[in-house]
Amino acid sequence: MAKLKAYHLPGRWGLPTVSPFCLKLDAFLRMTGIEHDSITAATPFGGPKKKAPWIEYGGRIIGDSTLIIDFLKEEYEVDPDAHLTPQQKATSVTIQRLIEENLYWAMVYDRWRRDENWPILKSSVLGDIPAPLRTVLAPYARRAVRKQLEGHGLGLHNPEDIEAIARKDIDALAALLGEGPWFFGAKPSMADATVYSLLANILWVPFVSPMKAMIEGHPNLVSWLERFKAEYFAKG
């Protein structure tokens, strides 16, 4: 079997990568034990969709974390969701959509639009780009992200409305988790991996964000984050 190559954005602050989507793929690979070479890319532009992560496998190049995971589940015959009921699988899809299509954009807003976070972002998320190129690329990238936020719709709201949206999402996640060790009982699933990938990139990074206090306001979410980290990322 061909050796899998997984490309991701750089790691910072004890996280393997600053990208939630890359971290989700990394969590999936750790959960399933798929052997692979992990390759750091300074920018996402080498990927087939100009986004990270992407993989190379058997002569194929595949982008988008969800499409990659679906491909690898079939290719390697592994599935972290195999123990879920049909209803739980449907709920898992709903959770992942909440994370990736809504709450993710609140994180993007905090990182890219809050002026107090811009110096941190330039030296961290964009930190592996050579300095002369980064000077030119950074303002362009910020304008591009602003357009993406507005195109999504969340970027058209004021900061107070964005905070209210984020709070509802985080409160919903805490309620769904409840007092269980994982979102669906005794074993972690892709819902856990997806939620972890985003919340870890909010709570454990130096960016200013009102979402940190929202997460910390739910002890079950904080202990769950530590539990997932210990289970799959204790050894880096």
Q: Where are the domains of the chain?
A: 4-76, 86-232
Give the model's pLDDT for residue 1: 60
The 8-class DSSP code of residue 156 comes to: G
Q: Check whether 236 has a pLDDT greater than 70.
A: no
pLDDT in tens, 118-160: 999 988 878 788 888 888 888 888 999 999 999 999 999 999 9
Residue 34 to residue 174: CA distance in whole angstroms: 30
Give the model's pLDDT for residue 124: 83
161 or 131: which carries more pLDDT confidence? 161
The 8-class DSSP code of residue 185 comes to: B
Give the model's pLDDT for residue 234: 86
Q: Give the up-direction half-sphere exposure of residue 196: CA atoms within 13 A in the CB hemisphere.
A: 30
Element at 38 (helix H, strand E): strand 36-40
pTM for the model: 0.94
Average pLDDT along the chain: 94
Question: How confident is residue 97, by pLDDT bands cut at 50, 70 and 90?
Answer: very high
The domain 86-232 having CATH identifier 2.40.50.140: the answer here is: no
Give the model's pLDDT for residue 135: 85
Give the model's pLDDT for residue 106: 98
Handedness of CA 31, 34, 38, 41 (dihedral sign): negative
Question: How confident is residue 44, by pLDDT bands cut at 50, 70 and 90?
Answer: confident
pLDDT in tens, 164-216: 999 999 999 999 999 999 999 899 999 999 999 999 999 999 999 999 999 99
Give me the CATH code for the 4-76 domain, please.
3.40.30.10
Give the model's pLDDT for residue 74: 97
Q: Check whether 50 has a pLDDT greater than 80.
A: yes
Question: How confident is residue 3, by pLDDT bands cut at 50, 70 and 90?
Answer: confident
pLDDT in tens, 70-89: 999 999 999 999 999 999 99
Are the CB atoms for 53 and 71 separated by under 8 Å?
no
Give the model's pLDDT for residue 128: 82
Give the strands of the sheet with 54-57, arranged side by side.
36-40, 4-8, 54-57, 60-63
